[in-house]
C-alpha cells in the first residue's frame, strides 16, 4: 500500500503528533508499505532542520511560520503536485487543522481516499487562551473542525472521550483507534541500568520518592496543579520537557528539578528513575506519556477527564483524581509516598506491574495493523461512494 501522510507537526518538534507519525512510519516500513510525508519545514537558519527522509521515506517540507513555539505549515498548491507524483492509495492526515485541511481538500480533488486522525483538543486550548471570547471562539473552532473532518472518508479518535466529543459535534464517519507504546524502550528493567541508578542518585540523594511528569511545559497542561504536591515530606518533583511555562513553574515549584527536553534512551532512563508518574492536564484526547510510564512499571495518577479515563484503572494501575476538587491530586499521591520496604512501596510495585501488563498488548506494530485495516475500510468506502 502507498500511504501519503500529511502532518501538522514533525521533527525536529517533539510532541504526541510527531511521535505517532514517526512510529506509524517505522511500522509501515517494517510491513513493506511505501510512504511519503508532507510536513511543516523549519527555517534554513534553524539549528535543527526538518529531515529530508525518515524511516527510509521521503519528507517534503512545506513553508511554515512560527506560532507560539509551533511550526504551522502554510497551505499551498504544491501539495497537489507532490501527491500527483506519488500517487498514494490512501492519505493519512495527522491532527488536521491548517496544513491538514489543505491536504484533505487536495485528496478529495484528486480522488484519494483519506483517513484523518483526531489528536488535539484544539477547542479546549483555544477556550483557555482566548479570554472573555473563549467560549464563542471554541464553538467556532468546533465548526472548523467539523468542516475539516467532513472532507475525510474516515476520522479516527484515540479515546472514548474524544469519540464522544466528535459525535456530539456532528463529525461524521468516526471510529476508535488508540496509540501504541514502545514497550521495549520503556521497560521496568531500565531501573537496574547504570544510567538510571546514577540519575536517581542525583535526584534522590536521601532516598526521596520521585514524583515525575513528562510533557510540554505549557498552560494547557495545567501544571499549576503540581503546587498541591510541593512540600510532601520525603518527595521531590521532577519535570521533563520544555515550553513557555518553564520560568513560571520554576518560581511556583522552587524545590522541583527541571531536566529539560529528553528523548530516546535518556527519556527512558528518566521514567525509570521515577517512583510515581503524575499527569495534570484535563484536555488530553489520549495521554501517550501515561502509557510510557505504565510500560516502565510506574503507578500513574491523572485527572478523571479525557483520555486518561481509558488508560488508568483506579486501584489497579494507578488513580484518577477529581480535577474539580482542590487537594484531590495530593490525596491520590499520598498513599504512594514512602521508602523501600514500606506499604507505599509495595503498593507502587503492585500498581506498576499491573500497568505494565495492561500496555504490553498495545505495541505499535499491533496498532498499525489496525490502522492499515482502517485504511482499507476508507479505500473501500471511497470506492462505494464513487460507484
CATH number of the structural domain spanning residue 308: 3.40.50.2000
In a domain, 386, yes or no: no
Strands 57-62, 53-54: pairing is antiparallel
Residue 172 sits in the same domain as residue 48: yes
Q: How many domains does the chain divide into?
A: 2
What DSSP letter does each residue of 25-82 carry, written as one string? HHHHHHTT-EEEEEEE---TT-SSPPPSEETTEEEEEEPEEEETTEEEEPP-THHHHH
Q: pLDDT for 153-199, tens place per residue?
A: 999 999 999 999 999 999 999 999 999 999 999 999 999 999 999 99
Does residue 234 sit in the same domain as residue 175? no
Is residue 112 domain-shared with residue 136, that is, in the same domain?
Answer: yes
Domain hosting residue 206, numbered range: 188-359
Distance CA 65, CA 82 (A): 20
Q: Are residues 375 and 250 in the same domain?
A: no
280 and 166 inside one domain:
no
Number of Cα atoms under 13 Å in the Cβ half of residue 257: 18
109 found inside a domain:
yes
Report the distance separating Cα 147 and Cα 155, nearest Å.
Answer: 12
Look at residue 251 and tell me if it is in a domain.
Answer: yes
Asked whether residue 87 is assigned to any structural domain, the reply reads yes
Q: What's the predicted TM-score (pTM) here?
A: 0.86
Q: What is the pLDDT along the chain (387 residues), one digit of tens a residue?
A: 999 999 999 999 888 899 999 999 999 999 999 999 999 998 776 778 899 999 999 999 998 888 766 788 888 889 999 999 999 999 999 999 999 999 999 999 999 999 999 998 888 877 776 677 778 888 999 999 999 999 999 999 999 999 999 999 999 999 999 999 999 999 999 999 999 999 999 999 999 999 999 999 999 999 999 999 998 999 999 999 999 999 999 999 999 999 999 999 999 999 999 999 999 999 899 999 999 999 999 999 999 999 999 999 999 999 999 999 999 999 999 999 998 889 999 999 999 999 999 999 888 999 999 999 999 999 998 876 655
> Cβ(173)–Cβ(155) under 8 Å?
yes
Are both 353 and 375 inside the same structural domain?
no
Residues in the chain: 387
Whether residue 212 is contained in a domain is answered as yes
Amino acid at each position: 500500500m502507498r500511504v501519503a501522510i500529511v502532518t501538522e507537526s514533525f521533527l525536529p518538534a517533539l510532541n504526541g503528533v510527531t511521535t505517532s507519525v514517526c512510529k506509524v512510519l517505522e511500522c509501515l516500513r517494517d510491513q513493506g508499505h511505501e510512504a511519503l510525508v508532507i510536513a511543516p519545514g523549519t527555517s534554513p537558519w534553524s539549528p535543527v532542520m526538518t529531515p529530508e527522509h525518515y524511516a527510509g521515506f521521503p519528507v517534503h517540507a512545506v513553508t511554515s511560520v512560527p506560532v507560539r513555539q509551533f511550526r504551522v505549515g502554510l497551505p499551498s498548491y504544491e501539495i497537489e503536485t507532490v501527491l500527483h507524483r506519488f500517487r498514494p492509495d490512501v492519505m493519512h492526515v495527522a491532527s488536521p487543522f491548517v496544513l491538514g485541511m489543505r491536504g484533505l481538500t487536495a485528496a478529495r480533488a484528486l480522488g484519494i481516499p483519506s483517513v484523518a486522525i483526531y489528536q488535539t483538543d484544539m477547542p479546549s486550548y483555544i477556550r483557555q487562551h482566548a479570554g472573555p471570547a473563549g467560549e464563542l471562539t471554541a464553538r467556532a473552532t468546533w465548526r472548523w473542525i467539523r468542516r475539516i473532518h467532513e472532507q475525510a472518508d474516515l476520522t479516527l479518535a484515540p479515546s472514548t472521550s474524544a469519540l464522544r466529543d466528535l459525535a456530539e459535534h456532528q463529525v461524521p464517519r468516526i471510529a476508535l483507534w488508540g496509540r501504541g507504546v514502545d514497550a521495549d524502550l520503556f521497560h521496568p528493567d531500565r531501573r537496574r541500568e547504570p544510567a538510571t541508578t546514577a540519575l536517581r542518585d542525583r535526584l534522590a540523594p536521601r532516598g526521596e520518592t520521585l514524583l515525575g511528569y513528562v510533557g510540554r511545559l505549557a498552560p494547557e497542561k495545567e501544571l499549576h496543579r503540581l503546587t498541591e504536591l510541593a512540600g510532601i515530606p520525603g518527595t521531590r518533583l521532577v519535570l521533563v520537557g520544555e515550553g513557555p511555562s518553564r520560568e513560571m513553574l520554576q518560581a511556583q515549584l522552587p524545590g522541583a528539578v527541571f531536566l529539560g527536553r529528553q528523548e530516546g534512551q535518556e527519556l527512558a532512563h528518566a521514567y525509570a528513575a521515577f517512583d510515581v508518574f503524575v499527569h495534570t492536564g484535563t484536555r488530553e484526547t489520549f495521554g501517550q506519556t501515561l502509557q510510557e510510564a505504565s510500560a516502565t512499571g510506574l503507578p500513574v495518577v491523572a485527572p478523571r477527564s479525557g483520555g486518561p479515563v481509558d488508560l488508568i484503572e483506579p486501584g489497579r494501575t494507578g488513580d484518577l483524581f477529581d480535577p474539580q476538587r482542590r487537594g484531590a491530586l495530593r490525596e491520590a499521591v499520598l498513599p504512594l509516598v514512602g521508602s523501600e520496604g514500606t506499604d507505599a512501596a509495595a503498593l507502587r510495585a503492585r500498581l506498576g506491574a499491573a500497568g505494565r501488563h495492561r500496555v504490553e498488548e498495545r505495541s505499535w506494530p499491533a496498532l498499525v495493523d489496525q490502522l492499515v485495516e482502517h485504511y482499507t475500510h476508507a479505500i473501500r468506502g471511497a470506492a462505494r461512494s464513487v460507484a
